[in-house]
Structure 1
Amino acid sequence: MKISIHRRAIADYPGKQSLLKLATGVILGFCLSSCTNPEANRAGDSSGNQPQVVSTSTIIADLTESIASEEIQVSSILTPGVDPHIYEPVPADSIALENADLILYNGYNLEPELIKLMNAAGVNAKKLAVGEVVLPLQMEKQAAMTPDPHVWGNVMNAIAMVNAIRDSLSELSPENAATIQENAADYTATLEELHRWIQAQIATIPPNNRRLVTTHDAFQYYAQGYGLEITGTLIGISTEEQPSAQTVTRLVEEIKRTQVPAIFAETTINAQLIRTVAEEAQVKLAPQELYSDSIGVPGSEADSYIKMMVSNTRAVVEALGGTYTPFVVAEN
């Protein structure tokens, strides 16, 4: 069976794991070490009789992998570190979508070109806009209000996404529904712990320092869910936008006015502009970049949704003057 996205480490979520899952993880480790070419990770191998689930983003693929039965093949079109806002599909993506039994995409126009491809191609698969199960925040874009697609920034929203994925997988593979339901329950319990842990971590930051300045507007849900204020961003909710000189100047002035202790770059966006802002505002650029639209590459500190949220929280807490305590999953 071709595996197109890494399976999580056994320690990443609670619940009893079978020897089969352990063996799959070992095999996958060898696969990932030799598959650094993005084309090698391309979704869409329809060999065998397993239901084929294709995800458009690494975050959705990771949530799905966390709860899916071993009898369901989960793959991702995007690979870790790729920006869904500006991704340009390749011919292999059409094949992946056409071979799918179920397509899981974020929606709210996070991945605009993939959504266009999905709607234009001869795709007979069932489709679920996973992010659209969450009531969105509305952001201004070009003098109009548009839904903010970065819903996973609040872990409670990720739980709603997991519930929707659980139901779709159970419908796709009813013979494996019991396993899917059990996996989802275990994973949700871990997400609930994660949500409480983030709240406690952010609470250690001095109140006047609870401000975020980032490259693009991807952290509104995170800020709203955990008591932070978005002081400013270089660009809006889509990374296809380009900041004007006026925008940069306004942001520098706002940073100086609010005296934030640090600002943040992001892993999927060139850091040069935000580095320039930091220099002009004479403020520290946080040493750890934030993960916004993608999980980290396999083997990194953020190669799952949970680890991504932990990494981001640690970066924010340490840069803004809080006290970081490692996230530990309670034993059942």
Structure 2
Amino acid sequence: MKVNLFGNKRVWLITAMIILLAGCNQTTENVEENDKIRVVSTNTIIANLTDEIGGENITNISLLKAGTDPHVYEPVPQDSIELEKADLILYNGYNLEPNIIKLINSSGVTGQSLAVAEQVKPLDFEYEGQKKPDPHVWGNVQNTIIMVESIRDKLIEIDPENEAIFQQNSEQFIAELKELDSWIKNQIATIPVNQRQLITSHDAFQYYASAYGLEIPGTLIGISTEEQPSAQTVKNLVEIIRNTGVKAIFAETTINPTLINTVAQEAGVNIAEGKLYSDSLGVKGGEADTYIKMLTTNTNSIVTALGKSE
């Protein structure tokens, strides 16, 4: 049998070149990926803001997944690994994610960190006789603009080569946020003044209400979802609802709705059809998978439920 050695050599050479080129491409991709600063965001809201600014020029990991409550989240071993690998850790602060903050302080973190919400002057709430800062600052879009500027500045500090990109992305995003802020004000203004009362599962909408002209007569639980409402608390909220004549009360996506449903039944009031997103964005591809879509969805739900004619 005649063997074509030259042909075999050609096949071998071509195969070797393909393998070599593939290896080069893979190495190039790895180098490019390694050149990006590695950011860890502790919750979905901060992760989205950071993605809008950094885009493809950063690697951004969100520790919490959509629908996860940061107040009660218990870290897993992988979280420690991600924090230790990070060039920058962005967390909310004001004790929104207490167990993650403890982990950041106790693990072998070598990168920089920034408490993003703590760049905003907080509204206070009273707990056990002491005033504490409310962590839900993003309810006011003007506060979110401050958060975006803080994230942008920190990214530029760590990665000055991409300053122009971070500046451009943040400017475009801030313009969209300003439009959102105006739109919310106009939408809430369509609700009759005597019906602008917001009652929710937990006290996460103080900033939103203050910025856009709503009142919060009461909530089922306080700032943190760790709290367990007593029978007296439930009774008091039922009385508030009856006395104020609110048209509807709201469940939230990250909180079991059983108790707020009980309150609605006892008070003889409707639960709004749309649940509110408070401490987390919605699932990817859903109605609230970005910060802007979350505030838009919440506003639409509030206007629909409270703005109905008598």
TM-score (norm 2): 0.88
2:276 is paired with a residue whose SS is coil
Gaps of 5+ in 2: 1-32
Q: Determine the structure 1 residue equivalent to 2:165.
A: 179
Pairing 1:75–2:22 present = no
Pairing 1:310–2:289 present = no
1:271 to 245, 257, 263: 257
The structure that has the greater radius of gyration is 2
Q: What do the CA deviations read for 1:150-191 (whole angstroms, capped 9, x no partner)?
A: 000000000000000000111111111100000000000000
2:93 is paired with a residue whose SS is coil
Which structure carries more helix by proportion? 2
Instruction: Output the CA distance in 2 between the equivalents of 1:50 and 1:159.
Output: 24
Instruction: Output the CA distance in 1 between the equivalents of 2:90 and 2:149.
Output: 13
2:229 to 207, 219, 243: 243
1:87 to 60, 66, 73: 73
Q: What do the CA deviations read for 1:132-156 (whole angstroms, capped 9, x no partner)?
A: 0000011011221110000000000
Distance 1:322 1:128, change over 3 A: farther
Amino acid at match of 2:154: S
Instruction: Output the CA distance in 1 between the equivalents of 2:186 and 2:47.
Output: 28
Pairing 1:213–2:199 present = yes
Instruction: Output the CA distance in 1 between the equivalents of 2:73 and 2:127.
Output: 20
Aligned length: 278
Instruction: Output the CA distance in 2 between the equivalents of 1:309 and 1:74.
Output: 22
2:294 is paired with a residue whose SS is helix
Q: Percent same amino acid among aligned pairs?
A: 62
Q: Determine the structure 2 residue equivalent to 1:116.
A: 102
Q: Determine the structure 2 residue equivalent to 1:223.
A: 209
Pairing 1:280–2:296 present = no
RMSD: 1.2
Q: Determine the structure 1 residue equivalent to 2:50.
A: 64
Q: Determine the structure 2 residue equivalent to 1:153.
A: 139
Q: Determine the structure 1 residue equivalent to 2:125.
A: 139
Q: Following superposition of structure 1 onto structure 2, how do residues 43-58 of structure 1 map, counting pairs within 5 Å?
A: 48-58=34-44
Instruction: Output the CA distance in 2 between the equivalents of 1:264 and 1:143.
Output: 28
2:242 to 245, 253, 256: 256
Instruction: Output the CA distance in 2 between the equivalents of 1:145 and 1:221.
Output: 16
Instruction: Output the CA distance in 2 between the equivalents of 1:93 and 1:85.
Output: 16
Q: What do the CA deviations read for 1:256-299 (whole angstroms, capped 9, x no partner)?
A: 00000000000000000000000000001001100000000001
Q: Determine the structure 1 residue equivalent to 2:182.
A: 196
Amino acid at match of 2:222: G
Q: Determine the structure 1 residue equivalent to 2:23.
A: none
Q: What do the CA deviations read for 1:206-264 (whole angstroms, capped 9, x no partner)?
A: 00000000000000000000000001101000000000000000000000000000000
Q: Determine the structure 2 residue equivalent to 1:292.
A: 278
2:48 is paired with a residue whose SS is helix
Amino acid at match of 2:281: I
Gaps of 5+ in 1: 1-46, 324-332
TM-score (norm 1): 0.82
**Which range moves more in the overlay, 111-120 or 140-149?**
140-149
CA shift for structure 1 position 322:
5.6
Instruction: Output the CA distance in 2 between the equivalents of 1:69 and 1:60.
Output: 13
Instruction: Output the CA distance in 2 between the equivalents of 1:181 and 1:69.
Output: 12
- Point out 4+ residue stretches in structure 1 off by more than 6 angstroms: none
Instruction: Output the CA distance in 1 between the equivalents of 2:55 and 2:188.
Output: 35
Amino acid at match of 2:255: I
Distance 1:222 1:322, change over 3 A: farther
Q: Determine the structure 1 residue equivalent to 2:156.
A: 170
